[in-house]
Copies of this chain bind each other. A is one copy, B any other.
């Protein structure tokens, strides 16, 4: 299993190195560290690792967090994220992990690998609440304005994720709305509702805010604006509840349970990210402040997705759901 790491991306470049080396504990893994060779050589010098399974792939520097991703990846064709995407495109690796500028990962993977046929833009999603781990929400922020057709794409991409990654047989889909009745919702939700009804998805109608935590459906569909606010809101609520309880309850047995709250409410940080949905290859967007464990988990995710034939299965799912509304 060949996995590249955008080795200079993210807030803590050394965590990329440490995470990559940690991932070599899995004998199947072979690592391609992408970045400026001199810096990488210097960063690697204090680590011991199996040199047969870790190589440096030279690139220019990574896209910085303050750069405009769409512009930067075109201006700097040899930046680290483009080299990662190119390695996938050439079939040299199975996928990559980047903790760098997430917009650049989306733009580079979409531009170089291409998107699934007919898809307007990739999307991003996943579980947002660790106590409802099989409830995926998407889009989580990439598509601030969405169309009903895009909402159906989010549903299809979510269904394929739930099937492939969570082994759910016939994933249920809900539209996030301001009430459960079919007539509830803003214009986008009302139009999407009609489209969803016509499609072959296992549509459970509108769901409400509290249904996410209760895990009422496997795939929660919303526009990226709503999803992004929701994702960050739960991080904030979890953080404040945790801070309160940590101060008030200090015995070690209880603390162990209380320490689960940030893990369950900030799972983007916990799991180190997820794949870009809808591009022809495996690109894992990791949190900028990913720990070595998060990077290593991201590498394992590439391996897992590859074994599940994730990209091809997703393409099939999208195509099947789309043809159900046109047929």
Contacts and interface: CB of A to CB of B under 8 A. Distances in A.
A120 interface: no
Interface string A256-297: 011011001100000000000000000000000000000000
Interface in A247-261: 248-249, 251, 253-254, 257-258, 260-261
Given A187-B145, A241-B241, A257-B245, A230 B230 contact: yes
Contacts of A210: 232-233, 235-236, 239
A186 B228 contact: no
Contact of A229 (B208, B240, B264): B208
Given A178-B141, A249-B249, A213 B186 contact: no
Interface string A152-192: 00000000000000000000000011110000111101000
A79 interface: no
Nearest to A248: B257
Greatest chain B CB density within 10 A among A176, A185, A225, A228 is at: A225
A91 interface: no
A323 to B, nearest CB: 30
Interface residues of A, number: 54
Contact of A238 (B187, B189, B237, B245): B237
A209 B231 contact: yes
Nearest to A222: B229
Number of copies: 2
A249 B254 CA distance: 6
Given A131-B240, A131-B244, A249-B257, A212 B233 contact: yes
Contacts of A145: 186-187
A184 B224 CA distance: 12
A211 interface: yes
A184 to B, nearest CB: 8
A132 interface: yes
Nearest to A188: B225
A213 B229 contact: no
Contacts of A234: 209, 233, 237
Nearest to A227: B178
A195 interface: no
9 contacts: A141-B178, A176-B229, A178-B229, A186-B223, A209-B230, A209-B233, A241-B241, A245-B258, A248-B254
